Amino acid sequence: MRQHTFNWEGRRVCQFERYFAIHVEKFVPQMSDPIESAVLDRFRWWPVSELASSSERLTPLALAQLATCYVEGRASVAVEVEVLFD
């Protein structure tokens, strides 16, 4: 879970995010939100092994650790609520 506070279009926004992991055989992501499309140029699938060494700012910050636990079939680790201010 994450609480993220940032400026958006001239106003201060505080959003709360909750993440879920699911397994699917095939999934093709599509941008359907016009606001999202204005700020993101693409979706990208990441090999789990590349997450920990990425120079990108990934969220949640513990994504590499959580994804590794998931694909290895281990119980997920307890992660504190991330609170970010930009």
pLDDT of residue 58: 82
Instruction: Report the C-alpha gap between 61 and 2 in whole angstroms.
Output: 9
Cα R_g (the chain), whole angstroms: 15
For tokens 């694909």, name the residue: 71
The residue segments making up the domain with residue 39 are 2-85
pLDDT < 50 regions, the chain: none
Give the three-state DSSP class for 75.
coil
Domains of the chain: total = 1
The type of residue at 48 is V
